[in-house]
Amino acid sequence: MFNLSGKLAVVTGGGSGVGRAIATVFGRQGARVFALDLDGEAAKATAAAITDAGGTADSAACDVSDATAVKSTFDAIVGRAGRLDILVNNAGVAHVGNIERTPEAEFDRLFRVNVKGVYLCSQAAVPVMVRQGGGVILNMASIVAFVGVADRFAYSMSKGAVLTMTKSVAIDYLKQNVRCNCICPARIRTPFVDGFVKKNYPGREAEVLQELAEYQPMGRMGTPEEVAYLALYLCSDEASFVTGQAYPLDGGVLNQ
């Protein structure tokens, strides 16, 4: 089950955290993985780890908010591999602040990466998937697409857009056998979260990390691997009847 042999999977934000975990699990399950990341060296390290473990992987530096970069990167991938079976839109950025404390530049940055990035990568992938008879797109949304979280105005805006883009792509390409779903995690403990806390809450890191853990009724944050295993299911043939859905991975948050 959950065998991805013969499939080509592109994972954006694949250089660290959730993206790296997804790329690693997909490589372990037989997919040929392309790890994309703004940090090309981090993407290269992910690909090397997959290859060292016996898998097949390549990498590229790519700014998902840059239309020219996305087109050239995806053209190169499809030119080399001849197909594109799975796209995981995982690359994303965050911001702390309510609407009064969200500068226009930060709002634009989150929209550019979290929303436009999903749009550009999906726009590059869909024609390839339609041409070859099908494919899977998996977007990384968040529980903030369902519930309010304090001081996450711009981030919530962006993830709400990801949720509705997911449903739009799913319904538009249902007959072309292109499935599109999204995962909506609560707090996931990643190097990104650690760096984010250090930057925004200097001197209070331990306290804030504990608060982030306690936000989930389970009393802890999720792990990147837990997200990766759900991603594996949704991108596998075992989930062939699933499209247009948003899957919470929330440690019980939405049950409160």
Residues marked as catalytic: 155
Contact between 108 and 92 (Cβ < 8 Å):
no
Q: Give the other-Cβ count within 10 Å of 243's Cβ.
A: 21
Angle of helix 117-132 versus helix 67-81 axis, rounded to 10: 30
32: its two tokens: 């040929």
Can you say whether residue 31 is alpha, beta or left, with left for phi > 0 and alpha for psi between -120 and 50 degrees? beta
Contact between 66 and 40 (Cβ < 8 Å):
no
What is the C-alpha separation between 99 and 91, in angstroms, rounded? Answer: 23
